[in-house]
Amino acid sequence: MKQKISKKFLLIFSVCSIAVAGIVVACGDGGYYDDYENSSFAPEAFVSSAYTPFFFTSEISYYNGYNLDDSNTRYNQLVVSEWNSWFENQVDTAALKTLLIKASAGNIDSAARYYKGKLDVLPTGLPELKNTKASKKKVNAFFDYLLLAKECEVYAVGPGDYWSYEKTPVKEVPADLENTLLKAVDQEKDPFIKERLWFQMVRYYYFKQRQYAANVPKIDIPLPAYFAKEEAAFPKNMMYYRALGYLAGYYYQKGEFAQANYLYSLCYNYSFEMKIPSRWSFHPQNENDWKQTLALAKNGGEKITLWHMLGSSRDEARAIKEIYTIDPKAEKLDLLLSRLVNIREAQGQASKDTSASSQAKRMATAAERTLVGKIAIEEKTSKPYYWNLAAGYLNSLSGNYALAKTFYTKGRKQLPVNDTLVMAQYKVLNWLLYLKTLKHIDAKTEAEMVEPLNWLNSLSKNKKSITSLRYNSAIAQSMTILSAQYKKQGDVLKAYFFTPELAFYNSNERIEAAKSLLNKKNKTPFELAMLNYYSINVGQLSYLQAMLLVYQEKLDEAIVLMKQADTVNRTELMANPFNIKIQDCHDCDHLADKDKKHFTVLSFIEALKTIKGDLVAGKDVSRNAALLGNAYYNITHYGNARVFYYSASVTESYGDSPFSIPVPYRKIVTDSKIAEKYYLLARANAKTKELKAKYTYMAAKCERNEIYNVQYNNAIKEKQYSWQFDFSKIPVGKYFSELKAQYSQTKYYQEVLNECGYFNKYINKKH
């Protein structure tokens, strides 16, 4: 069945393209997709660098930094180089660049008059040409041409910002300049300058037509006739094809799209510099228009270029099929195959549902695999290994692993062994296929995986460099697949090392198993390879264990483990954890204590142990209970010592909201019940009403925090932000009531009333 250009394809081009020579408006290719991170197929391994801008990207128009907003500068270096050659390198290159590219018409006039002795002083910044070795005849001819060329820049050179959907106003093209240019072309004898004057004349007619098309459409400009009359006199060089681009733009303005597209294809095929503007201006309107364009092609090579240009934006499979029929060894096939594969990576395979969209996608992807596979089997292309690897990868993406292996095996025998990138590309693809077909991991399998795992790690750690190879996705897939397989086999430890999960740390036994393997002296080659991907050390695990034990009030065990926590146990708490205030403001506490000596995490736990020991011994029960209450309050999310659990980097518990704390640790580090227990013990043993009032209020803070926690831990509200909660409707709890009923005559009660808005609202609420 013969494919047609899709309506989507036509719509995108109709919206995005303004096909005029040298001036283009850009739009993106689609939604965001991190091409490098999510791809395992590098076009650089197979496709000529001449087509680099057209490698598939999902977010921007052109690949690897090439863009459209350099239309005014695209040919600058070439222009300077050509004039340098004409002068036989007898004029300083920097001087030429200044005059050709940077100088204004007024600057050129001053420089020309100074050179001819008609101006005594050369303006600052203009180069001196009087001492050049070039002949005066050439320098004078250069200035004469440049004076005229600068007049043309007034209407021909835009602002240089083409990343805009706003139409730029059409500039007035001087009517009297036409005869001046025509006369200059006729009278010029030097072939080099004559061709440039002819280019200026062609460009003049293009902009004149553009001006009339905007204002008086009935007036026609004789550009095609003039071009045809003069073109035979000039070589088919860059200047010729730049002029041809303006002729193509003329036809576009006239609505003769088939002719315009054909001419753009000739420009595209001529040089790398012309590829981006020509490709962007290429603008098939519909299938009928496309057939007319193809009919203008004079030979198979020109048809290949046309199909290549069409396929480099849409309908890659159709273009591949057509080009392959004309010439299986055509270089332009390479780009289209890379785009087809990279697009399939980005878009994925169709799901197994029976919806119309899914069915269409399944048919399309199946057709792609069939086409690429057929070409690979026939081995008529210039790079059979490329087609075998592509066919294998497409089948691997769709789950046809046996067929993928067949293509890879065949392609492996054809690889250019001296091409480092191609060999590495094969290795990445074959490794991914190996993983996808993995059913069980035993000692033999682990031994097989050592080398590829070490190789990928050396790439990720920059110990080995292979330019353009895409390996990050392969690493991510490796970790996921291996972890899942080990989990399936019941080996939770190895599953964890490949893909760490926070739930793993819920078991102290599992943590000890991880530490044991990390501390193992005679690790197997596979264990060493596996641990290259694991970034947590024994000290961090010991810190985590110690931290969790503190929250369980197992201080003796916590101290032993915290001493094993390397340097992290010397982390300083930024405020005194044994102090407490009416209002919670950890930043305020940090600022107030910034010049004081701070507890380290280890010295804090040791102090905690001492205080608890005194409490157990019955010494100063109320005060010591209060200190423990303060400490256990401050190491929760609501206190001034969050750094205590922040430092357990394994838990990833950072941020200013409970939602930033992973679920396995959220309840642990937000729970104030231990603090509440000690505040009530302190109150029960307090000897004054002031202290009883204080400890009642501190218990009220713990009570209120627990009410917050119920909201934060509500699974229904898991994805809500903190400001989406209505805390005004949260009940105040029993301790506010006790504070009001029993301690309203205390000084501390008044302090709470003044500082705590919640309590003030509670007291003044009308019942």
Q: Show the DSSP H helices in 413-471 as ranges.
A: 420-436, 443-460
Q: Following CA atoms 199, 201, 205, 206 in sequence, which dihedral angle do they give, to the nearest 10 degrees?
A: 20
Q: How many of the other CB atoms lie within 10 Å of CB of 550?
A: 26
DSSP state of 215: H
**Domain assignments of the chain as residue spans, ordered by start:** 73-157, 438-535, 565-764
| pLDDT, position 24 | 27
Retrieve residue 43's tokens. Answer: 């076009």
Element (H, E) at 648: none
Spans of the chain, pLDDT less than 70: 1-34, 65-72, 158-170, 214-218, 350-357, 714-732, 766-767
Q: Residue 255 to residues 242, 313, 399: CA-CA distances in angstroms?
A: 20, 22, 47
pTM for the full predicted model:
0.82
Burial 473-501 (b: 16+ CB within 10 A, else e): bbbeebbebbbebbbeeeebebbbbbbbe
The distance of Cα 246 from the centroid of its chain, to the nearest Å, equals: 36
Q: Specify the amino acid at residue 40.
A: S
pLDDT of residue 763: 86
Long-range contacts of 351-360 (CB under 8 A, 24+ apart): none
Containing H/E element for 473? Answer: helix 472-488
Q: 119 with 73: CB under 8 angstroms?
A: no
Q: Are 705 and 636 in contact (CB under 8 A)?
A: yes
pLDDT of residue 368: 95
Structure tokens at 383: 């790079």
Distance (Å, rounded) from C-alpha 14 to C-alpha 19? 10
- Cα–Cα distance list, 457 to 433, 472, 473, 474, 550 (Å): 18, 10, 13, 11, 37
Check: CB of residue 142 under 8 Å from CB of residue 98: no
Which residue do the tokens 């303004």 mark?
A: 18
Q: Read off the pLDDT of residues 356-389 as tens digits, 9 standing for 90 and up.
A: 667 888 888 999 999 999 999 999 999 999 999 9
Q: Which two tokens mark 302?
A: 């020109």
Radius of gyration in angstroms for the set of CA atoms belonging to the chain, rounded to a whole number: 38
Give the Cα separation of 295 and 32 in Å (integer): 38
End-to-end CA distance of the chain: 80
Helix (H) or strand (E) holding 381: none
pLDDT of residue 569: 87
Task: Identify whether the C-beta of residue 145 lies closer than 8 Å to the C-beta of residue 139.
Answer: no
Q: Which residue type is seen at 71?
A: S
Cβ–Cβ < 8 Å for 384, 411: yes
**Distance in angstroms (rounded) separating the CA atoms of residues 703 and 736:** 10
Q: What is the DSSP letter of 440?
A: -
Distance CA 483, CA 333 (A): 39
Q: Where are the beta strands (DSSP E) in 514-579?
A: none
d(CA 311, CA 320): 8
Phi and psi angles of residue 572, each rounded to the nearest 5 degrees, phi first: -90, 135
Q: What is each CA distance from 588 to 172, 572, 627, 668, in whole angstroms? A: 66, 17, 20, 24
How many Cβ atoms sit within 10 Å of the Cβ of residue 742? 14
Helix (H) or strand (E) holding 700: helix 689-712
